[in-house]
Chain A
Amino acid sequence: MSMLPQLLFTGICIGSIYALVSLGFVLLIRAANIVNFAQGQFSMLGAYFMVILFASLGLNYGLSLFLAVVLMAVFGVLFACVSYWPLRDRNPIAVIISTIGAGILLDNTVLAAYGPSPQVLRGLFEGEGFLVGPIYMDSQYLSIIVVTAVLVSLQYLVFEKTTIGKKIQATSQDREMAAILGIPTALIVMGIFAYSAALGGLAGILIAPILYVSVGISALIGVKAFAANIIGGFGSIPGAIFGGLIIGIVETLGAAYISVPYRDAFAFIILIIVLLVRPQGLFGERISEKA
């Protein structure tokens, strides 16, 4: 029983990563109406950019982090231009398949360049950690939670308190109407791609010291971000965050109390249960009827 607080801490930390990636995923659903099956690859790529900049080129950590995130944002736009823009007026399945193609392309390009052996990346802080009551706060784990909390709050502030944030919301709620008002919707959608990729990349960089950097990150994180989204409610921003946290906590507890090899299965089991019991997700509105 004494393990429980520690496990919850770890679970929230892992869940924060899923929440970050899931957040990027849900923003794309809302702004561009695309389901991006290459969301996990953003994390993988972010981590490898960090490996290149920090480990290979030997830049200082802060600068590497900054550059890696900027590179991811640029990459997000490139990604949109190749796998979304040419197909934007077609069947949504065409875009889904195209993002899957992009994911495979990215995974295997990196695999060809770096091979399967994982790369090591140090954490945001070099310090050890400290004890708070029964919980040992590892500095890397703590930094993940803090960064996630800060980013989520920042995003909330930007979306709710600034005009640009309101224009983004307007674009995601009714793109044609936003254009009628003179909002540059194409620019905003590209911006969302950039932000979504940067968020994913940052999540990859944060989780790297815990998981090591390998191509496997893509599938692992990407699929859980989807699962988080469905559990929380498809297209819901708070749903994405809470869905991510729920998966993080459940799989950490599951691994500790039930089975380690199946830790990755717990997310999918909750997913299937949610689909059976409450398909609109925890925060989702009722799936609207339309003729």
Chain B
Amino acid sequence: MSTAAAFRQKTITYGLIGFAAVMAIAFIAPSEGYYLNILMHAANYAIAVVGLVIVLGYCGQFALCQAAFLGIGAYCVGLGTGDYGIPFFVALFLGVVITGLVGIFLGLTTLNLNGHYLGMVTIAFQMIVTMVLTNWAGFTHGPDGITKIPRPAGFGGGSTYLGLCLVCLVAVLVFAYVLKASRLGRAMQAVRDNEIAASTCGVDVFFTKTVAFGICAALAGLGGGLFAGAFNYISPDQFSFGESVVLLTMALLGGVESAFGALIGTVLLVVLPEWLRFLRQIYLAVYGGAVIAIMIFMPRGVWGLVSKYLFKTAPIGSAPVKPLPLLSRSATVSDEIVLETIGLAKYFGGLKAVDGVDVKVRKGSVHALIGPNGSGKTTMLNLITGLYVATAGTVKLSGQDITALKPHDRTRLGMCRTFQNIRVFRGLTVLENVIIGAERRGNDVEGIDDVTERALAALDFVGLRDRAHLPVGDLPYGHQRYVEIARALAGSPEILLLDEPAAGLNSTEKTEMAELLQRLKGHGTTIFIIDHDMRLIEQVADHITVLNFGRRIADDDPRSVFTHPEVIAAYLGEPRNETA
């Protein structure tokens, strides 16, 4: 059975089990009173907490205004149905759309900056929402809140409305589950684990983060809208900063890796305070203490603890897959130029890290860039892949000027790279890492089955197929390098850029790496490689460019380069003239 079909079947099974469970709960739940309230509270909050799981757990972005979104959703339903006579479901839908748009707007303002900004802006936003809800009495009914919010026709009864909330919850859980295994979900996790590597794998980091935050907000809007109908009454203090923290605590306690963590955390924190009534006075203080304790002692939350013991990923079968398309080619070096830099330069303040370098990489060749430490090699690679913006000069890929393109757009055009200090996605398995490489836009694959097959073929090629199911962090350093190479190869690159693939490898591993590069070369893969290990370079390179102090000092075939006096001087120093 294909991966996609198996996943679909599993999802449907889980969905049906969930649906049956909530129907049972709605059926046996009392139609009013205390226990019904607890259940409704938990169901609506859990929907919002799933939003936090997506933004924090999947995408690694930290936001603290979930209660504000909850409030906006609730007020859309409260005001819409009451003051404006809009039908319940229309108001609910409007709430989801509005919160989603507000989330996207907030994301657009801050998500291109680093981690702390979203956190702070969302706190500010939370404060503004509370202030508006409290003070704009003419519109929001002020601090007294809105009463007598109707439930939709047909869902007036306690248990039927609870059923509605629970069905929405199950739908949201299934959505989060499917999202995690989708291309977008994988992109989010890639962003979480390593933004730079994600962008060079073709993921639009800013877009992905913004979408994650938009989804997070929209889910809070949904939870809030349902909340308004559940209790028929809302007021500003239900959506204060403190509630945002409670929602965050729910996500952290349950575990942000999975939507089920959100469910566990919410249920625990809705039910526990009711049991711990004697703490009433200080229960928020205990919350605060719990947050610190969770961060220190249980960083993966309850679900993290449970899943560590319950779930072991099974090895992926060894059924044969189609080999990588690039393996069908044979070694031919043509005169066609794949990559070209013209006068490329990068200055950091007064330091000319790269100073007007020309490079021409011919199709099918292995082109090496060498030079002493600090000569500008990695800067060069960062300029080529778009991680740095060039001070001057042009980069061309297959004749197209790509100097102004972002890293992910360059990847779309067929540029895949590895990193000297390994950048794998630590929260994902080996296979998932490589799948992210395989599903770069511009690759000739369609659908998850195709992508998985391509990823497995890449793992076959580097010899890690039997490790595909393991978390990538469990692999030794040398193997993680191969994961990076497989990730790049799975994207069928026009040109493969390798940043010191042999760094940190022992001599056996270096020999294996040389063999792997020889094999790639044998299939006509265009490679641009930086390395310090000259024995590796001289084995594989067709052409070598040498940098020193950011300038090109030699550009020739290996034999000429290694006997070039300026190159020897750059590496060994000037020959000693005194015969001591």
> Using a CB–CB distance below 8 Å, which chain A residues touch chain B?
35, 37, 82-83, 86-87, 90, 92-98, 100-109, 111-112, 219, 223, 226-227, 230, 234, 261-262, 264-265, 267-269, 271-272, 275-276, 279, 287, 289, 291
The 8 sampled A-B contact pairs (Cβ below 8 Å) are A94-B299, A105-B288, A107-B284, A112-B281, A264-B127, A268-B128, A287-B114, A291-B196
Residues of A within 8 A of B128 (CB): 265, 268-269
A279 to B120, CA, bound (A): 13
A234 to B117, CA, bound (A): 9
Q: Given A96-B116, A226-B123, A102–B288 Cβ distance below 8 Å? A: yes
Of A104, A111, A275, A289, which is within 8 A of B291 by CB? A104
| Residues A261 and B131 in contact, CB atoms below 8 Å apart | yes
| Residues A93 and B127 in contact, CB atoms below 8 Å apart | no
| Residues A82 and B292 in contact, CB atoms below 8 Å apart | yes
The residue in chain A whose Cβ has the minimal distance to the Cβ of B293 is A101
Of B64, B131, B288, B290, which is within 8 A of A264 by CB? B131
| Residues B135 and A107 in contact, CB atoms below 8 Å apart | no
The residue in chain A whose Cβ has the minimal distance to the Cβ of B60 is A93
> Using a CB–CB distance below 8 Å, which chain B residues touch chain A?
56, 60, 62, 64, 109-110, 112-117, 119-121, 123-125, 127-128, 131-132, 134-135, 196, 241-242, 245, 248-249, 252, 281-285, 287-292, 294-296, 299, 378, 382, 387-389
Cβ of B224 to closest chain A Cβ, rounded Å: 21
Of B115, B196, B288, which is within 8 A of A93 by CB? B115
| Residues B124 and A227 in contact, CB atoms below 8 Å apart | yes
Q: Given A35-B119, A287-B113, A108–B285 Cβ distance below 8 Å? A: yes
Cβ of A277 to closest chain B Cβ, rounded Å: 10
| Residues A97 and B116 in contact, CB atoms below 8 Å apart | no
| Residues A97 and B248 in contact, CB atoms below 8 Å apart | yes
A102 to B288, CA, bound (A): 6
Of B60, B196, B291, B296, which is within 8 A of A100 by CB? B291
Residues of A within 8 A of B282 (CB): 108-109, 112
| Residues B119 and A101 in contact, CB atoms below 8 Å apart | no
Q: Given A265-B128, A289-B389, A87–B295 Cβ distance below 8 Å? A: yes
Q: Given A265-B128, A279-B113, A101–B292 Cβ distance below 8 Å? A: yes
A37 to B116, CA, bound (A): 10
| Residues B296 and A92 in contact, CB atoms below 8 Å apart | no
A174 to B495, CA, bound (A): 38
The residue in chain B whose Cβ has the minimal distance to the Cβ of A102 is B292
| Residues B131 and A262 in contact, CB atoms below 8 Å apart | yes
| Residues B127 and A226 in contact, CB atoms below 8 Å apart | no
Residues of B within 8 A of A279 (CB): 110, 112-113, 117
| Residues A83 and B120 in contact, CB atoms below 8 Å apart | no
Residues of A within 8 A of B110 (CB): 275, 279
| Residues A272 and B382 in contact, CB atoms below 8 Å apart | no
The residue in chain A whose Cβ has the minimal distance to the Cβ of B108 is A276
Residues of A within 8 A of B114 (CB): 287
| Residues A223 and B127 in contact, CB atoms below 8 Å apart | yes
A-B contact count (CB 8 A): 134
| Residues A261 and B135 in contact, CB atoms below 8 Å apart | yes
A103 to B291, CA, bound (A): 10
Q: Given A104-B287, A109-B282, A272-B109, A98–B124 Cβ distance below 8 Å? A: no
Residues of A within 8 A of B120 (CB): 226-227, 230, 271
| Residues B284 and A276 in contact, CB atoms below 8 Å apart | no
The interface centre, meaning the residue of B110, B127, B295 with most chain A CB atoms within 10 A of its CB, is: B295
Residues of B within 8 A of A96 (CB): 62, 116, 119
The residue in chain B whose Cβ has the minimal distance to the Cβ of A268 is B124
Cβ of B64 to closest chain A Cβ, rounded Å: 7
| Residues B295 and A105 in contact, CB atoms below 8 Å apart | no
Residues of B within 8 A of A264 (CB): 127, 131
| Residues B292 and A223 in contact, CB atoms below 8 Å apart | no
| Residues B115 and A92 in contact, CB atoms below 8 Å apart | yes
A113 to B263, CA, bound (A): 33
Query: Which 8 residue pairs across A and B have the least CB separation, nearest first?
Result: A101-B291, A105-B288, A104-B288, A108-B285, A268-B124, A261-B135, A108-B284, A101-B292
Residues of B within 8 A of A90 (CB): 299
The residue in chain B whose Cβ has the minimal distance to the Cβ of A288 is B348
| Residues B296 and A87 in contact, CB atoms below 8 Å apart | yes
Residues of B within 8 A of A289 (CB): 387-389
Of A83, A268, A276, which is within 8 A of B292 by CB? A83
| Residues A275 and B116 in contact, CB atoms below 8 Å apart | no
Residues of B within 8 A of A109 (CB): 282, 285
A108 to B273, CA, bound (A): 15
A269 to B121, CA, bound (A): 10
The residue in chain B whose Cβ has the minimal distance to the Cβ of A101 is B291
A114 to B72, CA, bound (A): 32
